[in-house]
A and B are shown apart, each in its own frame.
Chain A
Amino acid sequence: MNSSLDTTFAALADPTRRAILARLALGEVSVMELAAPFAMSQPAISKHLKVLERAGLVSRGREAQRRPVRVEAQPLVEATEWLDNYRQSLETRFQRLDALLARLKGDAQKHGAKRRKQKMKRR
């Protein structure tokens, strides 16, 4: 199992961290601004940021005072692709079921038409 996906999913498996990423999707912010909406101390937010940083999901700018936090897309892209390939393997199977259902519906219609024809003849 891909260990960077492990780290990405572990990082995402927390509602506060997901909320942080959602906020960062709107644009970079300083840690102070990030902490504001949460009923949480700055050190607590910093802990979450460390986890996100280790997973490569956020990066910290170098601008000395503020060190703004930004979201990094690549790990999320990998996680989405991973799930989409799984979805695709299921979709292929369901398309076979689509084809079978279409055949069964066609057979049912033919059968119905045959019976109606036979009923007409007997009159």
Chain B
Amino acid sequence: MEGDLMANETRIKAEPGKQEIFVTREFDAPRELVFQAFTDPELYVQWLGPRRLTMNLETFEPRAGGSYRYILTDTDGSVFAFHGVNHEVLAPERIISTFEFEGLPEAGHVILETAKFEALPGDRTRLVNQSVFQSVADRDGMIQAGMESGLTESYERLEELLAKGVSQTAGASQ
């Protein structure tokens, strides 16, 4: 499966029975710029949330000891809030933070995130993000939730593609 991925595409490592996920992604931009996209609030809102959801960055303090909280609102009014604290913001190489989703039935399920930004030749960057969970169940639960949202996004993109196809066909037949 890994062999089918294009050069920059997201790679995940989630070994069975472990409490962590590694996400690796390469970008065609220098790491100062990628780091900026993670720490400048005006840039951050432009890419973090899915299109369908409105992103409200309520608090955003990209420094050691700073906190953050953001809220995503769906078209049907449902609200998803996330918050955490930045343990370390070391430009342009590393961000360490906590992360909690407020929508779980029980509070206190916190994830430790370590994002490393590596400079690659040709003004490119590799992001390696490690997420450490409090239990294997928490980690697997996150993947399950992510899978469901992944399916939703995939269906949306499929709908858009189909709509494009239909309108093009209609145009051609006239």
Contact = CB atoms under 8 A, between A and B. Distances in A.
Is B a genuine binding partner of A? yes
22 contacts: A5-B140, A8-B16, A9-B140, A13-B136, A79-B16, A82-B143, A83-B143, A85-B148, A88-B154, A89-B146, A90-B146, A92-B150, A93-B48, A94-B10, A94-B25, A98-B8, A98-B28, A100-B46, A101-B29, A104-B29, A104-B37, A105-B29
Interface in A58-87: 79-80, 82-87
Contacts, number: 104
Contacts of B149: 89
Interface of B: 1, 8-12, 14, 16-17, 23, 25, 27-29, 33-34, 36-37, 43, 46-48, 50, 136-137, 140-141, 143-144, 146-151, 153-154, 157
* Secondary structure of the A contact surface, majority rule: helix
A87 B11 contact: yes
A22 interface: no
Nearest to B21: A86
Contacts of A83: 12, 14, 143, 147
B30 to A, nearest CB: 9
Contacts of B28: 98, 101-102
B150 A89 contact: yes
A12 interface: yes
Interface of A: 1-2, 5-6, 8-10, 12-14, 79-80, 82-94, 96-102, 104-105
A101 B33 contact: yes
Contacts of B25: 90-91, 94
B48 A13 contact: no
B43 A80 contact: no
B120 to A, nearest CB: 14
